[in-house]
Amino acid sequence: MVGLSGEHMDLYPLELSGGQRQRACIARGISLCPQLLICDEPTSSLDVITQSQILYLLQCLQQQLNMSVLFISQDLAAVVQICDRMLVMHKGASWMSLQLMSFGATNVILILAC
Please check the confidence at residue 33 and state whether its pLDDT lies above 90.
yes
Q: What is the mean pLDDT of the chain?
A: 87
Please check the confidence at residue 65 and state whether its pLDDT lies above 70.
yes
Helix axes 18-30, 48-64, angle to 10 degrees: 10
Domain chopping of the chain, boundaries: 1-83, 85-114
Q: Which CATH number fits domain 1-83: 3.40.50.300, 3.40.50.1580, 3.40.640.10, 1.10.10.10?
A: 3.40.50.300
pLDDT at 27: 94
Q: Of 40, 45, 69, 75, which is closest to residue 57 (Cα–Cα)?
A: 69
39 strand-pairing partners: 71
